[in-house]
Amino acid sequence: MPPLPPITQALILINVAMFCLDEPLNGLLTHYFALYPIQSGLFYPWQVISYAFLHGSLPHIFFNMMGLWMFGSELERIWGSRRYMEFLLASVLTAAAAQLILSLLAGWNNYTVGASGGIYGLLLAFGMMFPNRTIMPLFPPIPMKAKVFVAVFGGLELLQGVTGTASGVAHFAHLGGMLGGWLMMRFWRGQPPFKSRRGPRRF
C-alpha cells in the first residue's frame, strides 16, 4: 500500500466521518445528501457531488476507501492535488449523470450513495497509465496486469447492469465514473473527441 498524500487522506477522513455521523443522526445526512432520482421530489443539485461522501454499509465504505488508497494515492502524487481533484470530480459527476438518466428512463426511485463512481474512474486511469503493472486484488486473489483488471471489472459491471444481477448496486453509475475518467484522460492528452493541445503531453 502506498503512503497517503494529503487529498486522498482528507477524502478518506471525510468519508469515514460522514459514515460515522449518519447513523446517530438517524439518516439525516442520507436524506439530504444522497443522490435521489430527479422525479422523486427529493433531488437537490448538490447531491450530484455529496452522494459520493456517503456509504450504506461498513463493507461498502471499506472497499471504496481501500480503492481510493490503492489507486488514488499514486495518481495524486503524479498529477498533483489540482488535477487529481479535477479528475475525481469529473468521474463523480458523470457517475451521477449516468445514474440520474437511467433512473429517469427506467422509473427507478431508489437513492444512490458511495464513492464508487470516482473509484472506478481512478481504476481506469491507473490501468491507462500503468497497463502492465501487476496488482493483486482481494477478490479474486489472483495477480493480474492492471489493464486486465480494468477490463474484467468493467466487463462485469456492464454484464451485471444489463442482466440486472447484483441488485442494489449502481452498476451504470460505476460505468459512468469510468467514462468520465476516460474523457478526462483523453482531454488532457489532446485526443479525440477533444482537439489536440499544443506543448508536451504529461500523461
Q: Convert the pLDDT of each residue in 145-201 to its tens digit.
A: 988 988 888 887 777 766 665 566 788 899 999 999 999 999 998 888 887 765 545
What is the reported pTM?
Answer: 0.89
Domain boundaries 6-189, CATH class: mainly alpha
202 contact partners, CB below 8 Å, separation of at least 6: 188
List, by residue number, the catalytic residues: 116, 174
Q: How many CB atoms lie within 10 A of CB 17?
A: 11
Best CA proximity match to 49, nearest among 35, 29, 38, 67? 35
Write out pLDDT tens, residues 14-68.
999 999 999 899 889 999 999 999 999 999 999 999 999 999 999 999 999 999 9
Domain spans in the chain, listed from the N-terminal domain onward: 6-189
Q: In sequence order, which ranges of the chain are alpha helices (DSSP H)?
A: 6-22, 28-33, 47-50, 58-67, 73-79, 81-106, 116-129, 146-163, 171-189
